[in-house]
Amino acid sequence: DPSYLQMAQEYIKKSLSCLTKRSITFLCGDAGPLAMAAVVYHKLHNDKQAEDCIARLLHLPKPDPRIPDEMLYGRMGYLSALLFVNKHFGEEKISQNHIQQVCEAVMASGENLAQKRNFTAKSPLMYEWYQEYYVGAAHGLAGIYYYLLQPGLGVSQAKLHNMVKPSVDYICQLKFVSGNYPPCIGDNRDLLVHWCHGAPGVIYMLLQAYKVFGEQKYFSDALQCADVIWQWGLLKKGYGLCHGTAGNAYAFLALYNLTQDMKYLYRACKFAEWCLSYGQHGCRTPDTPFSLFEGMAGTIYFLADLLIPTKARFPAFEL
């Protein structure tokens, strides 16, 4: 329905009029609106404006060593915007050379910090955020390694095996007996089961490592993550993607898409039922209650994705 693209264009115009010029990432910075605008204009066959957005996107990063590497505010969040554009254009609109330059900056940053903080023997790559070695997907190691394992970044086989794989293995060693993961290296409290901190974010790194290296241990750890989420993943923090129930439920969809095991589609549907009884669980109201990562927009996004495999299995299914 082209009316949705027209509506998206109106939102995009508002976003482009108030770029912050402070952050370069997809989720929290200027790269998100620019990448989204490029795709929307492309689908509306407005090639001139799409090319203008891509040009502005390419000129965002500066050679500034103070830029972090994590996903929400750092280089990895910028790389995710570049991959988003190439995926939706169906071609290499962002050159592989540009992507590899940013990727190499991330690798060099991780290698330098590992050497500086004496991590190299345990983990050849190390990253920090506000003087903490975060483990999870949002600000931490799992989110960075997940992207470094993506074939679209073009990390060489030598670096994948000699630097990324041992770093992934180091995270695996941090696993609690429960199957969950700590928010930071050195934090022994087994408390958080969020996409941003805990098993619901680490599972994506594990599944990608399994796809790249083919080792059963990564898949086994991912299954343990899913069990952690099933046991403790209904959150009073809300219904969003970052630290809410809808974000946790995405792990079940990831496993279902990989295995076609109906157990994980069932679990995703049960979490969806919980989300659909909105307001009945005593959850707190987030700071941005209608947003994608904290609020109801995240729930709707998850429900829309859930319908695709569920409708394929059960054509009469209604949500």
The per-residue pLDDT for range 221-258, each reduced to its tens digit, is 999 999 999 999 999 888 899 999 999 999 999 999 99
**pLDDT score of 64:** 77
Mean pLDDT of 181-195: 96
Burial label, 214 (beta-carbon count in 10 A; 0-12, 13-18, 19+): exposed
**pLDDT score of 285:** 86
**pLDDT score of 129:** 95
- Quickly state the pLDDT bin for 94 (edges 50, 70, 90): very high
DSSP state of 279: T
- Quickly state the pLDDT bin for 312 (edges 50, 70, 90): confident
> The tokens of 177 are what?
């007996």
- Quickly state the pLDDT bin for 61 (edges 50, 70, 90): confident
Q: What does the pLDDT look like over 109-155, one tens digit per residue?
A: 999 999 999 999 999 999 999 999 999 999 999 999 999 999 989 89
> The tokens of 110 are what?
């991780």
The answer to whether 267 touches 252, Cβ cutoff 8 Å, is yes
Contacts of 62 (CB under 8 A, 6+ apart): none
**pLDDT score of 249:** 97
220 or 286: which carries more pLDDT confidence?
Answer: 220
Q: What percent of the chain stands above pLDDT 70?
A: 99
The answer to whether 75 touches 105, Cβ cutoff 8 Å, is yes
**pLDDT score of 189:** 94
What residues form the annotated binding site?
Answer: 196, 242-243
**pLDDT score of 63:** 65
- Quickly state the pLDDT bin for 284 (edges 50, 70, 90): confident
**pLDDT score of 15:** 93
Q: How far apart are CA 12 and CA 299, in angstroms?
A: 21
What CA dihedral angle connects 187, 190, 196 and 199, to 10 degrees? 120
Which of 196, 307, 181 shows the shortest CA–CA distance to 241? 196
Token look-up 């509306």 returns: 44
DSSP state of 134: B
Mean pLDDT of 166-191: 97
Q: How far apart are CA 253 and CA 228, in angstroms?
A: 15
- Flag whether pLDDT at 184 surpasses 90: yes
DSSP state of 284: P
Q: How many residues does the chain have?
A: 319
What residues form the annotated binding site for Zn(2+)?
Answer: 196, 242-243
The answer to whether 294 touches 238, Cβ cutoff 8 Å, is yes
Q: What does the pLDDT look like over 38-48, one tens digit per residue?
A: 999 999 999 99
DSSP state of 89: H
Angle of helix 96-116 versus helix 141-148 axis, rounded to 10: 140
Token look-up 């090639």 returns: 47
Q: How far apart are CA 317 and CA 126, in angstroms?
A: 45
Residue 286 CA, chain-centre distance (Å), reads: 20
pLDDT, mean over the chain: 94
Q: What are the residue ranges of helices labelled H in 44-74?
A: 47-58
- Quickly state the pLDDT bin for 283 (edges 50, 70, 90): confident
- Quickly state the pLDDT bin for 11 (edges 50, 70, 90): very high
158 or 289: which carries more pLDDT confidence?
Answer: 158
Q: How far apart are CA 32 and CA 78, in angstroms?
A: 8
Q: What does the pLDDT look like over 64-85, one tens digit per residue?
A: 778 999 999 999 999 999 999 9
Token look-up 């995009």 returns: 12
Q: How far apart are CA 126 and CA 98, in angstroms?
A: 23
**pLDDT score of 77:** 95
**pLDDT score of 32:** 95
